Amino acid sequence: MYGLGIAKGMVETLRHLFVRPITVQYPEEIRLIPARARTNLLWFDERCTGCSTCAQACPDGCILVETAPNPDGTLNKLRYEIDFRLCMYCGLCTEACPYEAIQSGGPLNDATYVFDELYRDKHALTRMSRDWLGTHDNMYPNGMKAPFDNERAEAVHRRPA
């Protein structure tokens, strides 16, 4: 019958006419992000062993890991860099990491006008993760408690290599 589609459209319009809009006024009001959302990546140096499974799992090749062996058999992380200019936030690196050293759940306010600021080395990534732990009651994005406080973690990272 002619006009049935228009009638259905008008009914749908009337149904939404009296519903209050769900608008978030962004800088003043921040929307809650689901825990499993694929947001910015956080790298926790204290959890990372330098195995580079995250770099191998990355389809874009935006993660660079360079290690050197220590005398005790562990790996010294010389370089750990993530190029967020290339990252498509697929989350494959977070699934591949056996120690959950790289996790989704970082800040959403990292937009920048300078393109080179999206390339972060291990010091910038450590700073981001320390800021996260400081503002989230020393909890990782996956809900686990961090093993030690921020001051001790920063002292560990200031040790000469």
Please report the DSSP string for 7-52 in residue order: HHHHHHHHHHHTSPP----TTTS-PPPPTT----EEE-TTT--S--
Residues of the chain with pLDDT under 70: 148-161
For the whole model, what pTM was predicted? 0.74
- Could you tell me the domains of the chain? 37-158 (3.30.70.3270)
Q: Of 126, 125, 129, 127, which Cα lies nearest the Cα of 141?
A: 129
Q: Identify whether the C-beta of residue 87 lies closer than 8 Å to the C-beta of residue 95.
A: no
Give me the pLDDT at residue 151, please: 52
Give me the pLDDT at residue 149, please: 59
